[in-house]
């Protein structure tokens, strides 16, 4: 289990409240509470406690340390209980009947008293009870699945779908900002509490990435369409369809090879010339 992840969750939930209750008699030094909070949030568990011990008396800090121990135990119990409630029966049902040491049906039926009892057991007690029914390899498989579930639960990770274009942007930002993972990329770019990089550095990285990335026509169109009302969106769709069909027909009949036939055809396109009259791009003059 990652103490560091739990430590960060604990700090975000309770550190501000704890520090705000400090009185002068609880402090060893006349410390700036806001600065202390920022420092502790940026440190791991061991260094965080060291930083707190420099400024807060043991009698007061002891209660905070005990609160973390209780917080950790509670989170572990919540994850274990959730896993048993949602995955224990599914796992047991997925194991082939030939693997069981006893009658599988007697264990996994809906009214099984054994399953209900198992869902109340602590990890070691459950693994011990399983040995009468399953070989060690199957129990090890269950342990590994729970370990992965616990890792995701502690990290509180979610899956998001992004386009290859967007992933390229994120990866470039990760490299330029020297971020250790994607979580840190988003923290650097969006969190007001993240003080590792100055705003000017983040802006410079954004500009560098935007200059380096190839233009995405579809992404540009999507952003543009979002700004329009429904009627204008339909007009844009119809104009694109007209332009595409016109280009398709012209391509089939055009036999010209000298000069730049594509540029000449573009100039002859009424839709383009109309739009060009409203363009503010100086390069088109």
Q: Where are the domains of the chain?
A: 1-158, 164-212, 229-284
- Cut 0.85: pTM above it: no
At residue 193, the pLDDT reads: 47
What is the Cα–Cα distance from 202 to 278, expressed in whole angstroms? 35
Q: What local confidence, expressed as pLDDT, does residue 1 receive?
A: 44
CA separation, residue 133 to residues 99, 145, 146 (Å): 9, 18, 19
Give the Å distances, CA to CA, from 111 to 55, 134, 142, 245: 57, 20, 22, 65
DSSP assigned state of 37: H
HSE (CB half, 13 Å, CA atoms) of 48? 19
For residue 134, count CB atoms less than 10 angstroms from its CB and return exposed for 0-12, middle for 13-18, buried for 19 or more.
buried
Tokens 């995955």, residue?
Answer: 87
The whole-angstrom separation of Cα 221 and Cα 218 is 5
pLDDT tens digits for the chain (285 residues)?
A: 456 778 888 888 888 899 988 888 888 888 888 888 888 888 778 888 888 988 899 888 988 989 988 988 898 899 999 999 988 998 999 899 999 999 998 898 867 899 999 999 999 999 999 999 999 999 998 998 888 788 767 666 666 778 787 788 888 887 776 665 677 677 667 655 444 444 565 667 666 666 655 555 566 677 678 778 888 888 888 888 888 888 888 777 777 667 677 777 777 777 777 777 776 544 433
Alpha-carbon distance values, 248 to 241, 243, 257, 269 (Å) = 10, 9, 17, 13
- The predicted structure's pLDDT at residue 40: 86
Name the residue with tokens 């008293």.
Answer: 113
């Amino acid at each position: 289990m990652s103490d560091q992840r739990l430590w960060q969750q604990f700090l975000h939930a309770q550190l501000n409240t704890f520090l705000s209750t400090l009185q002068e008699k609880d402090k060893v030094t006349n410390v700036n509470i806001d600065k202390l909070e920022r420092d502790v949030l940026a440190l791991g568990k061991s260094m965080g406690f060291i930083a707190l011990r420099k400024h807060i008396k043991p009698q007061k800090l002891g209660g905070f340390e005990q609160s973390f121990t209780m917080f950790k135990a509670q989170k572990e119990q919540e994850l274990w209980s959730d896993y048993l409630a949602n995955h224990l029966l599914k796992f047991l049902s997925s194991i082939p009947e030939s693997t069981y040491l006893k009658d599988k049906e007697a264990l996994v039926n809906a009214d099984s008293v054994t399953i209900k009892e198992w869902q109340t057991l602590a990890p070691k007690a459950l693994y011990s009870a399983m040995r009468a029914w399953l070989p060690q390899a199957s129990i090890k498989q269950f342990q590994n699945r729970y370990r992965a579930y616990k890792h995701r639960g502690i990290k509180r990770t979610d899956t998001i779908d992004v386009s290859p274009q967007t992933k390229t942007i994120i990866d470039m930002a990760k490299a330029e900002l020297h971020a250790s993972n994607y979580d840190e990329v988003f923290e650097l770019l969006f969190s007001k509490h993240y003080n590792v990089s100055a705003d000017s550095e983040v802006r410079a990285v954004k500009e560098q990435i935007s200059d380096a990335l190839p233009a995405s026509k579809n992404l540009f169109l999507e952003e543009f369409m979002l700004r329009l009302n429904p009627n204008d969106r339909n007009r844009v769709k119809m104009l694109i369809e007209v332009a595409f069909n016109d280009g398709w027909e012209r391509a089939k009949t055009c036999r010209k090879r000298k000069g730049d036939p594509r540029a000449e055809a573009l100039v002859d396109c009424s839709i383009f010339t109309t739009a060009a009259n409203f363009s503010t791009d100086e390069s088109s003059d």
